[in-house]
Amino acid sequence: MFDLIAEIGQTLRNNRLRTMLTGLSVAWGVFMLIVLLGAARGVTNAFRVHNDASATNVINIWGGYTTMPWHGYKEGRSIDLRDADISRIERENESVYEVVAYGSIDTAKVSTVYDAISGSFNAVYPGEAELRNLKMLAGRFINDRDIAETRRVMVLHRKNASALFPGIDPEKVVGKTVDCLGLSWTVIGVYDHDWRTSSDTPYTTYKAITGNNDEAYQLTARISGLSTEEEGEQLEEDIRATLGRAHGFNPADKGAVWTWNRFSQAIAGAAAMGYLTLAVWILGFFTLVSGIVGVSNIMFVSVRERTHEIGIRRAIGAKPRSILLQILAEGVSITALFGYIGIVLGMAVLQVIDAFFGDTDAMQNPTVDISIAFQVTVALIIAGALAGLFPALKAIKVKPVEALRDE
């Protein structure tokens, strides 16, 4: 083993410039592969974080304006969603297991003796916490009894709770009261979320204090049993048809009701992230191949220059296997040595990228883990072996007599 290592070292020293230039191409290929994989992972992580911030098995629905005449109605008619649409959508679409309504007052003022805030005031159902992946810091979210008894209770975002009750822990905020819409509300919980900061109240309470009309600002259909983007799009069309029959508009009129199909969007996005990772691997592979071809070329030259030496070794009894092993080991050594240099430099660059851009909307944690490093290591070993295979096969085919004649 030590003799083999010494022979490899001697060969590399005898061809320093050629080995260095070839090795740099390998290092560059691995460096680019690591950086591209890390960047792709950062983009994928950002996509996953944004999806995790809200449930993806939902279709959001808003009323709009018709853009087509239908059964005697002219275009331009306003379509207002109703509370009755909740049970109608659930009944006519088996993939929908729950529909919830929303109300909102964007200019509502919430105040205490300490301070006041103006912002989104949302009327929601209990499922909102799961839909938005809200993290409760203290107390609880709205429940079914709040809905049934039209309680005047409110759940605050962490930042709003801190502004309304400065210096008070979230646990101690629970049970205190705030003023909103001329009424007193009891705080029952404090939550945290990356971008959602609305103050939430029971939907039925909101309807009671705004006149008990049956208009619904937004409906959200929660779905199950679907697995493909096409199934999600078909369900969206089915829901539009259900509302078209109820409100008298053409089911093909996409302006009559506006929808946001988060299910189909999430599947399409996940597929796009998969294609991105695949494209990075392919691009990195071809970049690495250029370096491997260089290693193979230098090994062919090395074999040609050492033909006389190989002949002597064969003449004194060296087995073809030992010569094959040496040539393969040289190829693997060059590829692995400079490949690891590329890995280290690539990971260092990713750390710099992570420090500056690793916690943004476009990128999250753009680094590579041990599994990626292991995959690249395996790829380097295989590539090095392949780079030395053909020169090695050529070397063992040299006849000792012909090799000894070579100068």
Question: Residue 311 has what pLDDT?
Answer: 67
pLDDT at position 137 is 96
What is the per-residue pLDDT for 171? 94
Q: In the prediction, which pLDDT does 126 show?
A: 92
SS3 261: strand
- 297: buried, middle or exposed (CB in 10 Å: 19+, 13-18, 0-12)? middle
How far is residue 198's CA from residue 124's CA, in Å, rounded to a whole number? 11
pLDDT of residue 398: 65
The pLDDT score that the predictor gives to residue 347 is 86
**32-55 b/e (C-beta count within 10 Å ≥ 16 → b):** bbbbbbbbbbbbbbbbeeebeebb
pLDDT at position 6: 65
Note the pLDDT of residue 282. Answer: 83
Identity of the residue numbered 298: I
What's the pLDDT at 28? Answer: 82
Could you list the mean pLDDT of each consecutive 10-residue stretch along the chain, which spans 407 residues? 60 67 77 84 77 75 94 91 93 93 86 90 90 92 96 96 95 95 95 91 91 84 91 95 95 94 86 83 75 70 67 70 74 78 87 81 77 73 72 68 55
Q: For 66-121, how does the pLDDT look when each residue is reduced to its tens digit (9 = 90+)?
A: 999 998 889 999 999 998 999 999 999 999 999 999 888 888 899 999 999 987 88
Alpha helix stretches (DSSP H) within 72-148:
84-92, 128-131, 144-148
